[in-house]
Amino acid sequence: MSQQRKQADAQEEPRVQQPTLMHGPGPRGPPGMMTGKANTTYDRKILWRWIFKYLGRFKGQWVSFAAMVMIGTLAMSLTSLISRKIIDDGIQAGNPGVLGTFTLLYLSISVATALLSYIGTYGMGKIGQNIIFNIRGDLIGKLQHMSMGYFDKKLSGDIISITTNDVDQLNMLVGGQLVNIFRGLVAIVMIFVTMFILNPLLAIVSTIVFPVYLIANALFKRVTAGIFKDMRKKMSAVTSSIQENVAGAKVVQAFGQEKKAASEFDRVNQENYEVGFKMRKIISTFFPLIGFISQFLVAFVLLMGGMARINNIVFLGIPVTAGVLTVFIGLLSQFFEPFMSLMQFQQVIESAMAASDRIYGLLDEEAELPDPEHPQPMPASTSVELAGVSFGYRFDETGKNGKNGDDGKNGKPGKNGKPGQKPAAGAHAMMGGMPDGVHGGMPGPMQAMML
């Protein structure tokens, strides 16, 4: 077990059982309506290395598909330069030859870009699904090798939440969003380079607002990181509550605890609602603000570019033409789209990190009583000895050899401590009608009393 895991376990708060539900089915079923277990916090570098460890098995394929996506993104950036050529040298210059040639080139690049993007996106998405498939297999394999003490002290609903909800959340990252993040980063770099190629003056004007985006991104990450982790805990509590209420429905109804069970579920459901609503308020405030800043930048670039065009201002020998200004506005829109997507992907990353923290914590657990490497077979015994147990009225009578119900001859049990002696009718009735030949079985009424 890692040192970080030991420190997290030492800081884990004691689990306090809420006085609502009984144990679930079985002698030691998980108690219902407990508080969720404390999250184990691992360094993000550890979590990313753990994720990319699964990716390493498909490294060659991933690099090939990523190269296709990058080439497609690079080719798409050329369409902006071609658009400027079509507007300035084709439409405004009245040259149909340039217009037709570069329009055909534009369409050819668009088709090639779409094909490369499809192959790359499909391949990287398939790799992501393989990663999730392997993680699920590792989780089930880990659970099968855990000792019984682990399942006794951990909520079954919490374990189910890790293997379902948290894995699904991680799937959103490696199954699709990882591809979009990679494409968005490449697109931002290429758009930025293309803007400087088109017109350095307008590109410099556009960079004024970039620090605002970076600060907003850092602030959003700082505010939402703790909320996403809290959301995973609250969702786990809801899952645990549902699982315990379904598994222990008969017990709840038998003891008339429906109102308490419903009250506890309402409590955890309300907590999950509140933390989700808090996240919605942050998102509904943040993204419209970023959109307003983006539109403000577009208006500012239009004003500066229009003034430069009217006054024939030339910067570094590059004038501001109608084609340059038109394409530049389009590039700004293209730039804001991947940037806004990356900001939205930040939600997925933060939620996936919180989910990865819980998944990695389960995989990092060590069995308290691990199975021996070389187990020794034990001889099977077909006899059952009930020491100190008698179904007779007189407690001093036992079977031969001091073994209750064992006649010591042919291994067949007696009925009432002495071979061949049947229990009295009263004893037979008190024991719930246990039929002859049943030795040591627990009668139905006694089982009900033991529950």
Model pLDDT for residues 156-199, shown as the tens digit of each residue: 767 877 887 788 888 778 766 777 777 778 888 888 888 888 88
- Identify whether residues 60 and 197 lie together within a single domain: yes
Torsion over CA: 101, 104, 110, 112 (sign):
negative
Q: What angle do CA 209, 211, 216 make, to 5 degrees?
A: 100
- Identify whether residues 172 and 222 lie together within a single domain: yes
As a whole number of angstroms, the distance between CA 179 and CA 170 comes to: 14
| 33 contacts 264 by C-beta, under 8 angstroms | yes
pTM summary value: 0.53
Q: What would the two tokens of residue 403 be?
A: 């073994």
pLDDT for the residue numbered 175: 67
As a whole number of angstroms, the distance between CA 13 and CA 93 comes to: 75
Within 20-59, strands assigned E span none
Within 158-269, strands assigned E span none
What average pLDDT is seen over the chain? 71
As a whole number of angstroms, the distance between CA 42 and CA 145 comes to: 23
In the chain, the percentage of residues whose pLDDT exceeds 90 is 1
pLDDT for the residue numbered 344: 66
> pLDDT confidence of 104, banded at 50, 70, 90?
very high
Torsion over CA: 322, 323, 327, 328 (sign):
negative
- Identify whether residues 348 and 402 lie together within a single domain: no
- Identify whether residues 191 and 296 lie together within a single domain: yes
What average pLDDT does range 422-448 have in this prediction? Answer: 42
pLDDT for the residue numbered 8: 43
Q: Among 81-90, 256-265, 314-323, 389-398, where is mean pLDDT lowest?
A: 389-398
- Identify whether residues 239 and 90 lie together within a single domain: yes
- Domain count for the chain, please give it: 2
- Identify whether residues 408 and 294 lie together within a single domain: no
Instruction: Tell which wins on pLDDT, 164 or 341.
Output: 164
Q: Which of 102-106, 217-221, 302-306, 414-418 has the highest mean pLDDT?
A: 102-106
Task: Answer whether residue 320 is part of any domain.
Answer: yes
Instruction: Tell which wins on pLDDT, 361 or 31.
Output: 361
Task: Answer whether residue 276 is part of any domain.
Answer: yes
CATH number at residue 210: 1.20.1560.10
Q: What would the two tokens of residue 53 be?
A: 């460890």
pLDDT for the residue numbered 9: 45
Q: How far is CA 127 from CA 46, 59, 133, 173, in A?
A: 21, 10, 10, 12
Nearest to 76 by CA among 103, 116, 119, 124: 116
Task: Answer whether residue 374 is part of any domain.
Answer: no
Whether the per-residue pLDDT at 18 is higher than 80: the answer is no
Amino acid, single-letter form, for residue 270: Q
Which stretch of DSSP H or E encloses residue 314?
strand 314-315
Task: Answer whether residue 24 is part of any domain.
Answer: no
Domain containing residue 288:
40-363
- Identify whether residues 53 and 189 lie together within a single domain: yes
